[in-house]
Structure 1
């Protein structure tokens, strides 16, 4: 029976890096937006919670049938509606004699007992996370644990919501009771945990965000969001097959918009940062000198290279242009890497514009 548990756990750990990678961008956005920075304990707990949910889901769902066209389950009904049926199963299978304590250890070898224990412990961490991290009350923990268990049971009895021809596991009302009990036990156990770890609602007390440095990770998230928003407009302007369309879109978004909003774009607004100049109000000259070389000049050179108009140039011109553009890209990448590891030096566009980033 232990082997049947190790199989799904190994899959959960194997796929966790992929899930963590997909989880990172939403995690960073929420943390920057809600708290203004990334706290290591908060981040570690959220990734641990993700790993737990993956393990719980895989333990419930795996192994899957070998084919979508699976056989119906060998049972008269696909739903077990009798509460506490597991007690009768344990009594029927047990080799325990009530007046002989030496036989009690037989419970550890009996399927029905181990299955009940598994269903309880499956959601104990869920209740602990709800109370310690999310600061949930017992009613919310009760409903959330019941909801999680119901999700597991419905997913199984519907054959992954119709993906398989027949259910490959039964819907068991006892699983709902035991999983919900486990969540509440975790809620109680979290009281002991809370007394030995920092309170989640006190992590940001006495924090001065104005003194924190804006990391390049945070800038990168903002830039990613900006280009995700801007890309559809660039694709629309791309119908004109001219680099001029790119220059217009970028000028409006990275010059006009930050000037009008005092250093904010959509991405910077989401992660709560802005470009700051030498005065409380960002000057037009500062934003032009900062974003012009980066987005208009450097970006414009790339837009020209991939434009339809550029393809009409002589091949020798295209070749030298590509070599020169590649050299510029290498220099920019190396320059930004050196600034990544040097907090005292600004990247070239901030140095030219006399600007910096601040947390809002």
Structure 2
């Protein structure tokens, strides 16, 4: 019986890397916005929650019918009698009240193990709610019931219409046992929370002013910015405007950062901004920084794909020019990798005397400090 659970669990672990990749970007953005940095314990707990939810849904959904055009279930597909599983366990067991020796037979009953599985299934969910999210017990009961209801709706709808007919029964007893498992996990979390680091105090000793802006954070800001300025350049190109890409780049990376004290939309989302290394940020620092990056490194690659510009060079010059651009790209890539490993600034940061820093509202810092116990202040 237990081997039947290994099949969906194995699929959950195999699909976890893909789910984690899809989860990582929104996870990082939320963590940067909410906490200002990534805490390893917080990340571990949330990825464990993702892995648990994958296992839970796979255990509920798998195995699938052999065809999407599956036949209807024999009998009713809905069971609405509460606690019917208790009667089924008693009827299918050789349990006798006046014979204690028969009590152990209940542990060999498949119906008992099915009910026990439904309880155990949501125990981790209740533990996550109690330990990480620190919900109240009423909220835990409600969310555990909602999770169980999503399981049952997924089954009764044939995975929301993917299959012609339901392939498992909607059972009200599953709602009861799953909710019971959630509140049991919640109580367990309260018991063991004293042995684990307190989630609400993970940031108590974090000093964001001393934390380095990682290349991962900068890369996310770069991608978010690219989505914005590429979209703007595409829209502007629909109008009879010369050099729409360069106009957008100039406005986005020269004018906007001067107005926002070194922030672009992408940097604002992940809570970082450009600052002068040894003095206040000046317009010439911003201009030099982004001209070197987008006008030099990025601009060379744009020009080599511009057929009109390439044709003006002639075949004798265009070939070597593309080779020079390729060599420059390779050198920049090597420079980027070395800088990432050595945690050093890139060349355009050194020349422009700028750096990225974490931005965190002063009011937020005061609020975080005020919530700490006196022993941690």
TM-score by length of 1: 0.95
Distance (whole Å) between structure 2 residues aligned to residue 54 and residue 190 of structure 1: 21
Contact 1:241 1:308 in 2 (8 A): no
Cα deviations by residue, 1:100-142 (Å, 9 ceiling, x for unpaired): 4443333233211011000000000000001110111001101
Contact 2:278 2:353 in 1 (8 A): no
Distance (whole Å) between structure 2 residues aligned to residue 167 and residue 318 of structure 1: 64
- Residue 122 of structure 1 aligns with which residue? 121
- Residue 97 of structure 1 aligns with which residue? 96
- Tell me the CA shift for residue 320 of structure 1: 2.0
Contact 2:276 2:285 in 1 (8 A): yes
Q: Does 1:49 align with 2:49?
A: yes
Q: Does 1:292 align with 2:291?
A: yes
- Residue 175 of structure 2 aligns with which residue? 176
- Residue 17 of structure 2 aligns with which residue? 17
Q: 3-state DSSP class of the match of 1:103?
A: helix
Contact 1:242 1:304 in 2 (8 A): no
Distance (whole Å) between structure 1 residues aligned to residue 207 and residue 16 of structure 2: 34
Matched residue count = 358
Contact 1:243 1:300 in 2 (8 A): no
Contact 1:262 1:281 in 2 (8 A): no
- Residue 195 of structure 1 aligns with which residue? 194
- Residue 216 of structure 1 aligns with which residue? 215
Higher mean displacement: 222-231 or 26-35: 222-231
Contact 1:32 1:38 in 2 (8 A): yes
Shift in alpha-carbon separation, 1:280–1:260, aligned structure 2, 3 A: farther
Distance (whole Å) between structure 1 residues aligned to residue 138 and residue 307 of structure 2: 62
Cα deviations by residue, 1:208-260 (Å, 9 ceiling, x for unpaired): 21111111111111111111222212333455799932211111111111111
- Residue 62 of structure 1 aligns with which residue? 62
Distance (whole Å) between structure 1 residues aligned to residue 265 and residue 98 of structure 2: 72
Q: What are structure 2's unaligned runs of at least 5 residues?
A: 360-377
- Residue 82 of structure 1 aligns with which residue? 81
Distance (whole Å) between structure 2 residues aligned to residue 106 and residue 184 of structure 1: 27
Q: What are structure 1's unaligned runs of at least 5 residues?
A: none
Contact 1:246 1:300 in 2 (8 A): no
Q: 3-state DSSP class of the match of 1:64?
A: coil
- Residue 155 of structure 1 aligns with which residue? 154
- Tell me the CA shift for residue 98 of structure 1: 3.3
Contact 1:155 1:161 in 2 (8 A): yes
TM-score by length of 2: 0.91
Cα deviations by residue, 1:74-121 (Å, 9 ceiling, x for unpaired): 11x221110001011101111333344443333233211011000000
Cα deviations by residue, 1:140-175 (Å, 9 ceiling, x for unpaired): 101100000000101110111111111111110000
Distance (whole Å) between structure 1 residues aligned to residue 255 and residue 278 of structure 2: 18
Contact 2:122 2:179 in 1 (8 A): yes
Distance (whole Å) between structure 2 residues aligned to residue 193 and residue 124 of structure 1: 14
- Residue 35 of structure 1 aligns with which residue? 35
